Every structure is written in C-alpha cells, then in structure tokens.
Amino acid sequence: MTQANPPGWRLDLRGREVVVSLTGDWIARETGLRNIAEVRQALESLDAVRLGFDASGLGRWDSALVVFLQSLRAEVARQVPPLGLDESALPEAARRLLALAGLAGGSESAETVPPPPSLATRVGRSAFNWWGGGVAVAALVGETVLRSVAAFGGRARTRAVDVMQLMREAGAGAVGIIAVVNGLVGAILAFVGAVQLRRFGAGIYVADLVGIAMVREMAAVMTAIVMAGRTGGAYAAHLATMQGNEEIDALQALGIPVHDFLVLPRVAALVAMMPLLYLYACAVGLFGGFVVSGATLDLTPAAFWGQIQTAIAGRQFAIGLVKSVAFGALVALVGCHVGLKAGRSAAAVGHAATTAVVAGIVGIIALDALFAVCADALGI
C-alpha cells in the first residue's frame, strides 16, 4: 500500500462562493479524521452565500472524507442565513454515500427498558457495592496483570470493561447462594462436631473443627462448586451460543484472538472474584457454626471466638486463598474450553453447560485432593 498523503482542506472565496479545496488521502485508518471546528471558524469569518467544492487534488478516500463532508453539511445548514450548497464537484460515489447517510431511514425508536433485576440479584448488587473498595483494588490488580501481559505479548485484545462486567456478573449474583451454602455447611460441621465432642467433654473444640474445616477446605471448595454451577456453566453456555450464532467466526474473520477476547477476561474475572467470595464464605460459615454451637453447647460467644482465634493461623487462610484462586481459574478455563469446543446446534448449548458443570465439580474435588497431598508433603 502506498504511503498516505496527509488530508487537507483550504477555503477560498471566489466572488460570494466559498470553495472548499480537498487535498491528500482521507483514509480513516491511516490518517484519522479531520476536525470540523476550524472550518466552522473560517466559515464565520467569510461573507459567503454559497459553498462549493474542488476535489481535483483529492487522493484516496474512505469514510474519513464522508464524515467530514457530513459534518460540513450540518455546519452549512446551521449558518444564518443558510448557505447554498453545491456538491456537484464531489466524487459521484461520495455523493451517493452522503445521500444514503442523510436518509433518516428505518428509525424505530431506540430506548427499551431492561426488565427489573430479581431480588437475589439486587441483594447481591448492594452487597457488591458495599465491597466497592475491595473490588476496586481487585480490579486494579487485574488490570495491572492484563496490562503487563499486553506489554509482554505486544498487543492484548482484552478489554478492562469486559472484565469489570464479568466480575459484577460472577460476584453479585452469587452472594446470596454462597451465603446459604456456606452458612449451612458451617452449621452442619458444628452440629456433627458438637454431638461427638460433647461425649468427651471437649465441646469447646467445636470451634477448632468448624474454623479449620471452613477456612482450609470447605469455604473454598463450596464456593468453587457454586461458581462451577452458576458461572462455569454460564460461560460454557454463552460461548456455545456464540459459536452457534457465528459470533466466534465473526471474531476470527476479523483476526481478533478468541483467547484474548473471550477466555482471558473470564479467567481474570473469576480469579479476581474468588478470593473475595472465599473470605465472605469463611465469615458466613464461621457464623453458621457459631450459631449452632451456641444453641447445642453452652458456649459463650467470647469463648467461641477466642477459641477460633487460637485455632486458625494465618497460614490456613493463605492455603484457602491460594485454593480459591486456583479453583477460580479452573472453573473459568473449563467453562470456556467446553463452550468453545461445542457444536453449532441449539442442543449443543445445553450439553456444553452440563458438561462444564460436571467437569468443573470433578476438577475442583480432584484439585483439592492434590492440594491436600502437596500440603501434607510440605508439612503445612
């Protein structure tokens, strides 16, 4: 492709007609768009009644020229008194495009109101806002990682706005169900522990049992399973739908890397959300255990929380956090992989969702077992 000459324009007053002389190449991709503001100023200083064109110096052109001419048209119409406009000297093709763009065609009115969100989603969203600070930090970390990946690979096509949107979807909607699941798991652990430990007069150790089990294992695993069911399945279904709708083809035909554009934001969103959801799950689970042990044993709140503090070391949280990150990445990768491999029929979407959920859950349990073996080997 030949080097583009910069696009230019000049206004000459010939009698009472302003002639806009267009020169150079007007190629949006190569030379950008020209601002109309200077033309407006120049027009105001001239005392003309008509506006004409001279396109003899015009090189290659595309939409960049049409956008310029379109705003020039609007400018001419705004002048008082309005200028006469003589476009006959413009290239025939440009006049056709201007005519086509000028048609106020097919204008069905735009605004439609989205349906109100469900109660659970609203609760989740308000909780999400409450976390605003934490999320902003997570988003920053996420973006930093993305930027550095981008800098490293030369050009990443991941958009931060996608990641934020996906984080909102993955986090806000899951808050309610994660509370229910982990609260109940904490309660069940406390109940089982209380029944057994009471026989030995060791009821206070229920706090240790609930604390270690939740923080080290259950909060991360249960949260990940919920995310596999909700978000992993949704990712698979979404990407499978995109596959059937040729949306993935449309990305590939443009040369937009599917991995950067679809997979990376989803992995980033879940990796950023999972630790937050994990900490929240820990809190709710411990609270569930506290309520049940208070009801079944005569433990005072101070005794329970005091015992918990001695039982759980920071190390336990570290293990849980690492797991939650790994599970988040696993769930997102499995969901995306299954979705991208799906067939193009409607049935394939349902099948992809089921496969992703099952594979996600099995993967989480297997990965957790692997963590247990490694932690044992490392003695932590």
Partner 1 sequence: MAGGAGPPPPLLDAKGLTLAFGPRVIQRDLTFSVRRGSVFAVMGGSGCGKSTVLRAMIGLLRPAAGTVAVDGEDYWGASSSRRAEIGRRFGVLFQNGALWSSMSVAENVALPLQIFTDLGAGDIDALVRLKLSLVGMEAAGKRMPSELSGGMRKRAGLARALALDPDILFFDEPSAGLDPVTSKRLDDLILELRDGLGATIVIVSHELPSLFATCDDGLFLDAETRTAIAHGSPRALRDGCGHPIVRSFMERTRHDHPGQGGSP
- Applying CB under 8 A, the residues found at the interface with partner 1 are 27-29, 32-33, 60-64, 66-67, 70-71, 91, 93-94, 96-97, 100-103, 105-112, 157, 165, 238, 241-242, 245-247, 249-256
- CA–centroid distance for 303 within its chain: 44
Sign of the dihedral through C-alpha 332, 336, 337, 338: positive
Contact status, residue 324 vs residue 274, Cβ threshold 8 Å:
yes
Sheet arrangement for strand 17-26: 8-14, 17-26, 50-61, 84-85
Smallest separation (angstroms) from partner 1 to the CB of 29: 5
Query: How many residues in total does the chain contain?
Result: 380
Nearer Cβ to partner 1 (177/258)? 258
12/33 Cα distance (integer angstroms)? 22
Nearer Cβ to partner 1 (59/294)? 59
Nearer Cβ to partner 1 (64/356)? 64
With b for 16 or more beta-carbon neighbours within 10 A and e for fewer, the 187-226 pattern comes to: bbbbbebbeebeeeeebebbbbbbbbbbbbbbbbbbbbbb
Nearer Cβ to partner 1 (125/157)? 157
Smallest separation (angstroms) from partner 1 to the CB of 38: 15
24: left (phi over 0), alpha (psi -120 to 50) or beta: left
In three-state secondary structure terms, 154 is coil
Contact status, residue 227 vs residue 270, Cβ threshold 8 Å:
yes
Residue 21 burial (CB count, 10 A): 17
Nearer Cβ to partner 1 (242/348)? 242
Smallest separation (angstroms) from partner 1 to the CB of 302: 50
Nearer Cβ to partner 1 (100/362)? 100
Nearer Cβ to partner 1 (26/191)? 26
Nearer Cβ to partner 1 (67/188)? 67
In three-state secondary structure terms, 293 is helix
Smallest separation (angstroms) from partner 1 to the CB of 66: 6
230/18 Cα distance (integer angstroms)? 64
Smallest separation (angstroms) from partner 1 to the CB of 118: 18
316/271 Cα distance (integer angstroms)? 19
Residues 6+ apart with CB under 8 A from 17: 48, 49, 50, 51, 52, 86
